[in-house]
A and B are shown apart, each in its own frame.
Chain A
């Protein structure tokens, strides 16, 4: 009989930092990123038995999805886009706007892979485990997703290193 190591409480700190990082990279608002991170951790905790083996990828996927949903809701509201944004530079705000638009337009699977691989820095193997597909499929989605981002964002330093 084999035991699966690590409890939710033991891994909470790392998972929270990860969820916050993913959320903040998309929404750019500290308060909102905190809410998203907390909600993501609640979902991870509820599903712990099932997702413990790939908890980082699962948490990042939930956080990324919620961050994009949150931005979509904001977009439908009349408030200015930068409401609630912390001390971001104009450059960062512009990149975030473009990034959200570009992510929102990707097919769902591509978006999940791009968020997990490049916003959450999750390994290919763990993305594959979280999404229930092969590492090859992850690589393919990542490649196509990046191409789409490049086409949308144009030359930007954020994509230079990939």
Chain B
């Protein structure tokens, strides 16, 4: 729409320009490495002084227990007075001191203080805490078992090359999912059973490499989105949803005919414990020009999609219950002037049920809507000062709504790192 502002005599890129750009980039990379090496040398020489005087950047993190055993919560907040927002320490970042508490179900035995200069991320998956650490040109992956309070490293997947980066971390039961990226741009996706100590590579379709994915709650299936090559800068990358059965080692590509419209891209949003039901999100058809996305449940036995009725503006994450018959999601109610709200849908119903407002008008906050295994409770995070249905409390934080009783309660466990104080006035 801004074509009139284009330069009709735009200069054409040249080989010389390309070579110059590559050379400058190489030079800056080298300079950055030298700076990092210099900073690292200083950190090794005087680590005690650095920590004692707090002259090094310091970041705090807390991995909280969540209202549901499968929920994860990772927050990183800077120490008071710190000017910059905390970000994960990458391989090329200066050494950083992390101080924090890893909670394991509030058991004193399993609570530990951690100071680690290489910690990149920490995530809580029920019984397990998974951390990635950056060291030199590669990362390492560690798990802590909250039932025993023991930590151990996860070996790099076969053929044993070191991973330059770990991503797509998720967990179902005791099976850890991760994407291991290598320095040469290739990758492997691995499902690692932490109790049986088995490693299963996840098969991908050659035309749709892995983009993102998650584990089924029971740890038997992986559902993921594979993305194809972009044909033009303005064209969206075609995406398909796949289910990989870890037991049978079979890959199932979901059909692209969704809701009576042919050849639609889709992304994965969840899978049931038994692997039969998959929740997918797809761009809206031309008949819904104002919609952000459409949600569908796919039955892998009947190979049929069924639509999840939603308002036009679906925002934030969506969640599928473990039994595959209930969906929780966040959307903006059709009534004008409303903020975002949490909704619940039961398979077979014609409409989704409003649960509660969770974000103010104009806010793009993610309410982290989660639905329990049987669909009986919906957990969501409300912003401070939002009127949560069924309670006079307006201090925000995480709430659990019991759908059978119609009762709502505030989840105290999730409040340890969040500021629940409503603004003055």
Q: Give residues in A with beta carbon < 8 Å to B.
A: 1-6, 8-9, 12-14, 16-18, 20-21, 24-25, 28, 30, 33-34, 38, 41-43, 45-46, 49, 52-53, 56, 86, 92, 95-96, 99, 109, 118-126, 129, 134-137, 139-141, 144, 157-162
Contacts and interface: CB of A to CB of B under 8 A. Distances in A.
Nearest to B24: A42
B13 A56 contact: no
A125 B237 contact: yes
Interface of B: 1-2, 4-7, 9-11, 13, 17-18, 20-22, 24-25, 28-29, 164, 181, 183, 185-188, 204, 206, 209-211, 227, 229-230, 233-237, 239, 265, 267, 281, 283, 292-293, 313-317, 362, 364
Given A2-B209, A118-B2, 7 more contacts: A13-B13, A18-B233, A49-B164, A53-B227, A121-B234, A136-B292, A136-B293
Contacts of B314: 136
Most buried by A among B227, B233, B239, B362: B233
Nearest to A4: B185
Contacts of A157: 4
B208 to A, nearest CB: 9
B293 A24 contact: no
Nearest to B291: A139
A12 B21 contact: yes
B7 A30 contact: yes
B187 A2 contact: yes
A126 B25 contact: no
B230 A45 contact: no
Given A134-B316, A135-B293, A24 B5 contact: yes
B362 A144 contact: yes
A76 B22 CA distance: 32
Given A123-B234, A134-B317, A158 B25 contact: no
Contacts of B364: 109, 137, 140-141
A22 to B, nearest CB: 9
Given A1-B186, A4-B209, A121-B234, A34 B11 contact: yes
A3 B185 contact: yes
B315 A21 contact: no
A5 B208 CA distance: 11
Contacts of A118: 1-2
A125 B226 CA distance: 13
Given A17-B13, A109-B364, A122 B315 contact: no
Contacts of B230: 56, 123, 126
Nearest to B8: A87
11 contacts: A3-B209, A46-B28, A53-B211, A92-B4, A122-B233, A123-B235, A126-B230, A126-B237, A134-B281, A134-B315, A140-B313
Given A17-B10, A24-B10, A161-B1, A8 B239 contact: no
B234 A135 contact: no
Given A21-B6, A144-B362, A46 B237 contact: no
Contacts of A119: 2
B28 A21 contact: no
B25 A42 contact: yes
A9 to B, nearest CB: 6
B186 A2 contact: yes
A121 B13 contact: no
A69 B152 CA distance: 46
A158 B233 contact: no
A50 B98 CA distance: 24
A140 B5 contact: no
Given A125-B236, A136-B313, A144-B362, A1 B187 contact: yes
A71 B204 CA distance: 45
B315 A140 contact: yes
A99 B5 CA distance: 11
Nearest to A56: B233
A42 B13 contact: no
Contacts of A8: 22
Most chain B CB neighbours (cut-off 10 Å) among A119, A121, A157: A121
B88 to A, nearest CB: 13
B5 A2 contact: no
Contact of B22 (A4, A45, A124, A140): A45
B29 A46 contact: yes
A140 B24 contact: no
A43 B281 CA distance: 32
Nearest to B269: A134
A43 to B, nearest CB: 8
